Structure 1
Amino acid sequence: MKVFVGILIGLLVFMVLAIIGANAISGKDSVDVQNDPRVQAAIEERIAPIGQVNTAEVKQETAGGGGGADGKSVYDSACMACHATGAAGAPILGNKGAWADRIAKGNDTLFDHAINGFKGMPPKGGNAGLSDEEVKAAVEYMVAKANRPAAVTRDE
């Protein structure tokens, strides 16, 4: 019994010393990941490819067209990611049922939601570089697709 008690006391002393040692080592040299600018820079670098949107193609096409914004080009570059797949509850391009209630609210409401964001949709589809006219052109393109017969929408 004396040996058992001796072992328990020895383990207890070892555990206390290990805890004190760990606190002493990590207390001064620990990295505060919440406030360390190096850690934050590394995080931002890792997520940068996900958090950036390439809008050069849209700007080039709409700037050179002279005839106003091209709804299909804007849709292809900024809207397609969600409106082709239904991500975040987005109505799929050409799906009359999904668009009917939205279209019934009128273009002004659709434009407002597309420009300023609504529920899961970010403002301007997540591309702040788009002008209001470009966003409106994309909305008009999607509404036109929703009003066409399904066979026409699939072929285009």
Structure 2
Amino acid sequence: MSQEPHASHEGPIKTPKQLVVAVVLAFVLPILIIVLLVSYVNSASKASAGSTALSPEATAQRIMPVAAVQIKVAAANAGAATGEEVFKGQCAACHEAGTLGAPKFGDAAAWTARISQGVEALYHAALKGKNAMPPQGGGDFNDDEIKRAVVYMANAGGAKFTAPPVVAAAASGADAAASAASAP
């Protein structure tokens, strides 16, 4: 019989020490590499959607009160406001730019039809409101001050109206307070 050469089936691991090294390299090393990769990816701080929800600014925005109280000093305006002052304080926001169909300040063509209705109709429209303009009466200015602003705007548009006279209510109020203080 002929003898066939016997193939050797030996592996690269010949000792128990080599077996331990192979196990470590085959199982522990990949797990260690995966852990290091995950920590590397998560190490950069990235803002995600909604991550600012707990910031102090966001919290302050959420708990902000619905309304606020404004205290205005009534004695700051010692006299009645002129038509120009009222216009700048209340009317200019719409009438400077012509917002929502408001006639622009100084535009004679836009004011002609309104002026022809008369000053009383203009007063009524300003105090009670008309079209997109809200009523101006009862706001920061009294009715006479609103009327002076109406005359100021209409005259800039070509009218020749006379403004309501300035009543010296503040001066008479101060005189009354002085006389009350000097009374025994």
Q: TM-score, normalised by structure 1?
A: 0.53
Work out the percentage of aligned pairs sharing the same amino acid. Answer: 34
Instruction: Structure 1 unaligned segments of length 5 or more: list them.
Output: 1-40, 149-156
Partner of 1:146: 157
Q: Which has the higher helix share?
A: 1
Matches within 5 A, 1:3-152: 45=66, 60=76, 63-65=77-79, 68-124=80-136, 128-147=139-158
CA–CA separation in structure 2 for the residues paired with 1:97 and 1:116:
24
Q: TM-score, normalised by structure 2?
A: 0.45
CA–CA separation in structure 2 for the residues paired with 1:72 and 1:79:
9
Instruction: Structure 2 unaligned segments of length 5 or more: list them.
Output: 1-61, 160-184
Q: Deviations over 1:129-154 (max 9, x none)?
A: 32110100000100111118xxxxxx
CA–CA separation in structure 1 for the residues paired with 2:115 and 2:133:
16
Amino acid at match of 2:147: K
CA–CA separation in structure 2 for the residues paired with 1:58 and 1:120:
29
Amino acid at match of 1:100: T
Amino acid at match of 1:97: A
CA–CA separation in structure 2 for the residues paired with 1:134 and 1:93:
17
1:128 Cα deviation (Å)? 1.8
8 Å contact kept, 1:74–1:135: yes
- The count of aligned residue pairs is 97
Aligned residue for 2:78, secondary structure, equals: helix
1:76 Cα deviation (Å)? 0.2
Aligned residue for 1:128, secondary structure, equals: coil
1:85 Cα deviation (Å)? 0.5
Structure 1 residues 133 and 44: CA distance shift in structure 2, 3 A: farther
Q: Deviations over 1:44-65 (max 9, x none)?
A: 83xx69xx9x9x69984xx423
CA–CA separation in structure 2 for the residues paired with 1:120 and 1:84:
15
Higher relative contact order (CA 8 A, sep 6+): 1
8 Å contact kept, 1:69–1:133: no
- State the structure with more CA Rg: 2
Partner of 2:59: none
8 Å contact kept, 1:70–1:137: yes
